[in-house]
Amino acid sequence: MHRFFVDPDHIQGETVTLTGDTSRQIFRVLRLRPGEQIIVLDDTGWEFSVDLSSVSASQVTGSITRKALNGAEPRVAITLYQAMIRPEKFEFVLQKATELGVVGIVPVICERSIANPEGSRLSPNKRQRWERIIAEATEQCGRGRLPILSDPVTFAEATASATHPAIIPWEAEDSLGIKSALRSLNPFPADQYVRPELVEGQIHTQSSDGHISIFIGPEGGFTQEEIDVANSASITSVTLGKRILRSETAAVAAITAVMYEIGELGG
């Protein structure tokens, strides 16, 4: 069944109203008609089954037939600190990290990062594009909450503000594997975590319970100086194995390893 995130203001009592890109997609692309059903999400963790009553390109309306809590959110909050890489690869990470269950994504400007022409702020067009990628991935994979997208930060800012425990996969680490690190750090005791918030463009976490941060380097890798900064901030260096992974592959592998350890991949 098709799923759509909407502003909570679009849900009034038992009536849902959809406009803009969403109504155009429903009418022109999906060709849904009155009597068919969709699922609407308000980004609070609730999902609503809706029977469509009227459908046009400019507006879609429907009636709520069922309200339920979404059960697809993970029980540990992962914040991904992803180094700025080539746009198409960064967008791949946005999509796959969302599907795997991260709750926050922070673009990080590292020494070897692809330059960010917008500096420390995302342009409105880029933010809109990236948030649309995140929203589409969230709808597709059945989640009930949208991951938070931060404005870019420097590596020093990221290491200083990251929620702990935190890990940083590094190709030169040869002693501590991610599996052993996760079991010793034990970031998984909370049954319910406090969800991060976006404050003035940056992700803010009120509590570290049930949270873990993952740092992924740029295409040229982290420098030794960056690893020293991270380690001094109590961020643990780990290895992902004997093979050197591309940045976008390392992000997916590290998130998957965490999700596997907490039983979020069906185990």
Each domain of the chain, given as residue ranges in start order, spans 3-69, 77-261
CATH placement of domain 3-69: 2.40.240.20
Q: Average per-residue pLDDT in the chain?
A: 91
Contacts with 267 (C-beta within 8 Å, 6 or more apart), sequence order = 260
pLDDT of residue 188: 64
pLDDT of residue 204: 77
83-139 pLDDT per residue, tens? 999 999 999 999 999 999 999 999 999 999 876 655 567 888 999 999 999 999 999
Distance CA 152, CA 252 (A): 20
Share of the chain above pLDDT 70, in %: 94
Distance CA 68, CA 46 (A): 6
**Residue position matching structure tokens 């849900």:** 11
Q: Name residue 213's beta-bridge partners.
A: 79, 166
Q: What is the pTM of this model?
A: 0.90
pLDDT of residue 187: 61
pLDDT of residue 191: 63
pLDDT at residue 185 greater than cutoff 90:
no
CATH placement of domain 77-261: 3.40.1280.10
210-263 pLDDT per residue, tens? 899 999 999 999 999 999 999 999 999 999 999 999 999 999 999 999 999 888
